[in-house]
Amino acid sequence: MDPLSSLLSGIRAEGSVVTHAVLRAPWTIRFPDRAPLTMISVFRGGGTIILEDGSRTPVAAGDTAVVRGAELFYLADQPECDGTPHTEYEIACFGPNADPSGCGAEELSGIRWGTGPAEATALIVGAYRTSSRRHERLLRALPPVLVVGEETAVCPWLEVAAVEAADKSAGSQALMDRLLDWALVCALRLWFDHAGEAAPGWFRGLSDPVVAPALEAVHTRPGDAWTVASLAAESGVSRALFAKRFSGVMGRPPLTYLTEFRMDEAEELLAESDLTVAQVAKRVGYADAFGFSAAFKRHKGLSPTAFRAAAADWFPPGAGTHDAGLLGSGRNSLRGR
């Protein structure tokens, strides 16, 4: 499995019903969920994403934005809305403010659903969360807000999804969930493609004919007894050429990358499984628990046992469900103030 697919494997849209809101200016929307990832696709109009630190990112028709959690943020039709009359709304997909009975959109002043006047802003919002720690590696590779343009063709597909969701025909639920998964992957992949040197090494490596086979081998079988020579064999080149090329593309030697990836995998196994430390060690390529424990503490600052205890406090049993709520979902609310 390639690195991006692996990192996205724990992030899913489940049980979501998609529709879209049409808003007349002036307005602001507050997003209190602090979800790991929130995706906003704009069909018409536009606005400005405002983060807690005051940074502002404009989005226009055809844009898809992905906001990295966990911050409270706003979407406003005007960059500077303080002190000016406007309607305030809130989208809460996960928290105590979420309305299990639905949005009650027909009661909201200034909000209409479905088609609307050409001057209004029309958008779809998807919020994603997961109990897996795997997504944290993906989040570290992303800026607070990324925007991709209309060349992604995300918006047309989501507009089709909105129509399908409203129809509620057989299989529409599964279709919506998978389309949202597709849209998120599409948006992230396009952003990484255009990020150049700002993209993480593991993504840049996927396009390199020498590095890519070794990367996929490591991510698929981290427990194998890899050496620089065996990784070079996966790529079909000499050891010297492979080591030089890998370091140049990835910014670190092959075995350094291998160790870092193994430690990330071990972190996830310790936090989310009942495997013993010795079993985790074997899964990530260490012959004994002692060598693994020393390496883990060196890289993570805690012993495997101490890390597991701390992770249990961070993610208590029953806290982990992965879910996504969308405008129009039974798990979110859009309220005017």
pLDDT digits (tens, 9 = 90+) for 193-249: 888 777 878 788 888 999 999 999 999 899 999 999 999 999 999 999 999 999 999
Question: Which range in 106-110, 145-149, 166-170 is most confidently predicted, on average pLDDT?
Answer: 145-149
pLDDT digits (tens, 9 = 90+) for 246-290: 999 998 999 999 999 999 899 989 988 899 999 999 999 999 999
Of 49, 203, 216, 56, residue with least CA distance to 138: 203
With a threshold of 0.85, does the pTM exceed it? no
Residue range 202-314 in CATH 3.40.50.300: no
- Classify residue 85 as exposed, middle or buried by CB count within 10 Å of its CB (0-12, 13-18, 19+): exposed
Domain residue limits, the chain: 3-199+323-336, 202-314
In this structure, how many other beta carbons lie within 10 angstroms of the beta carbon of residue 16? Answer: 27
Question: Could you give the CA distance from residue 146 to residue 187 in angstroms, rounded to a whole number?
Answer: 9
Q: What is the mean pLDDT of the chain?
A: 75
